[in-house]
Structure 1
Amino acid sequence: MTTTRRYSASYRFFAAVIKPILFVISRREWRGTEHLHRSEGFIAAANHVTELDAITTAHVLYDNAAPPRIMAKVELFRVPVLGALLRSSGQIPVHRNSRNAADSLAAAQEALAAGECVMIFPEGTLTLDPEEWPMVARTGVARLALSTGAPVIPLAQWGASAILPRKSFLLRPFPRKTVHALVGPPVDLADLQGRLDSASLVEATARIMAAITAQVAQLRGEDPPAEPFDRRRAGV
């Protein structure tokens, strides 16, 4: 059963502008989207390779009756025009390392309680893995999931970086590339629900990222690294 979610006027406008562009510059190959047809609020957790990911991943969700409330860095909300569109369409600013950090969590919790989809990139930034595999993530996604009981749906995507390479602002739209998405079943976190201690958050985060990484491996047809890239260990 799928709940009926509200598409605001700003959201519809955003989609009306962006979707035709995506259809021109990319092909789509989506699998597992039946896992998005849910009656309750849920967290969509995706890997992050390029700045284009937010748009291509949101496209998957939007077209499956789950217009996402995207958790995005607060700096984007300060960009003229873009910031206004983000605010008016209900996206959630993420305040890192500040006294306002709790506001982001509260807004996401409220959205989930209202039956909405909250989209998050658990890594918190573009992956730093040299081969673009998912890296060790922050624990914010686990804190949100374990504090609310909301299911976490792993959403792996691959191909957008061929259109917009990471750390680049130069689109390579032609020839058209295929953006692949593979949606999985909810990550099993039942034994950790309500536990917000450090060990539980780390374990939940690891399970979520393992699910995403396994799905990325399916899309790529390759084996992932034995250990995910850890930016702290690498000192970056």
Structure 2
Amino acid sequence: MKEEQGARLRRRGRKLPRWLDRAVFWLREVLYWSGLYTFKLFGKLYNRAEVYGAEHMPRTGPFIAVVNHQSHMDAIASALCVRRRVHVMVKDSLFKIPIVGQWMRLVYMFPVRRGALDRKAFERALEVLRRGDVLFIAPEGTRRRRWDEPPPKPRTGFVRMAQAVGCPVVPVAIWGTQRVLPPHSFFPRPCKIRVKVGEPILLPPLGPGDQRREALERQAEFVMSKVYELWEELDALARGRS
């Protein structure tokens, strides 16, 4: 963690005093862990959240959790299934919101430009994984508001990250957040949330050649198909209980 902050300071050409560096580190830790367990408690009590397959989350080592994207509540719902420090890629426009943007940076979220090749965000993600930390990412790129519509084509960045680091990919399905916080809503509703974690996937290495892009797309689509399968299982469970 100290290495992460030191690297950022070197890139900016500045160096914080040791006492201030340590103060920032502990501030981030307090904000992250208190926020994580607050969200867990909120989800359990307010949204009657249920989590399935949490045992599939690796307890050590780097991995990429790949999630579907339905609502701004997805990042909070993701907290229900983790007990480790997690870094989350979030669209850059949200970091421009006063106070919210500063808070997101402190709790290990970092910006990514949507719809463009963001080399800075990609390198930041690789740093996270090479330190042995966890990365959450939504390859759909934008919220999928209707499940009966065809899924968007997934971005392949997470596949390239997993290939570069050699870490597993964990499919995670989130169900119900689109009801909790629909578009243009500001306060979450007391609707049920379900999260299901699949078994880790170690993607096979890619060979050289002109078919590399197609191979990246196939692997991205394969992982997302596992996420969608988990979502369908959660949806069937919800329908069976309704």
Q: Distance in 2 between matches of 1:132 and 1:178?
A: 22
1:138 matched to which residue of 2?
Answer: 155
**What pairs with 1:71-90 in structure 2 (closer than 5 Å)?**
71-90=89-108
Give the distance between the partners of 1:13 and 1:85, measured in 2 at CA: 13
> Are positions 1:187 and 2:195 aligned together?
no
Q: Is the 8 A contact 1:147 1:193 kept in 2?
A: no
The residue identity in structure 2 corresponding to 1:50 is: S
| Cα offsets for 1:6-25 (capped at 9, x unmatched) | 97122134336544443442
How many correspondences in the alignment? 210
In the alignment, which residue of structure 2 is the partner of 1:92? Answer: 110
TM-score (norm 2): 0.77
Report the alpha carbon displacement of residue 52 of structure 1 after superposing the two structures with TM.
Answer: 1.0
Distance (Å, rounded) in 2 between the aligned partners of 1:208 and 1:69: 20
Structure 2: distance between partners of 1:192 and 1:216:
28
Same amino acid, percent of matched pairs: 29
Q: Secondary structure at the match of 1:8?
A: helix
In structure 2, the partner of 1:169 is: 185
Return the offset for 1:154: 0.2
| Partners of 2:163 and 2:205 within 8 A in 1 | no
**1:12 matches 2:33:** yes
Match for 2:233 among 209, 213, 218?
Answer: 218
How has the CA–CA distance of structure 1 residues 161 and 132 changed in structure 2, closer, same or farther, with 3 Å as cutoff? farther
TM-score, normalising length: structure 1: 0.78
Q: Secondary structure at the match of 1:157?
A: strand
> Where do residues 1-236 of structure 1 align in structure 2 (5 Å cutoff)?
8-15=29-36, 18-61=39-82, 65-96=83-114, 101-127=118-144, 129=146, 131=148, 134-165=151-182, 167-171=183-187, 173-174=189-190, 177-192=191-206, 197-221=212-236
Q: Which has the larger radius of gyration?
A: 2
Superposed CA RMSD in Å reads 2.6
Give the helix-richer structure, 1 or 2: 2
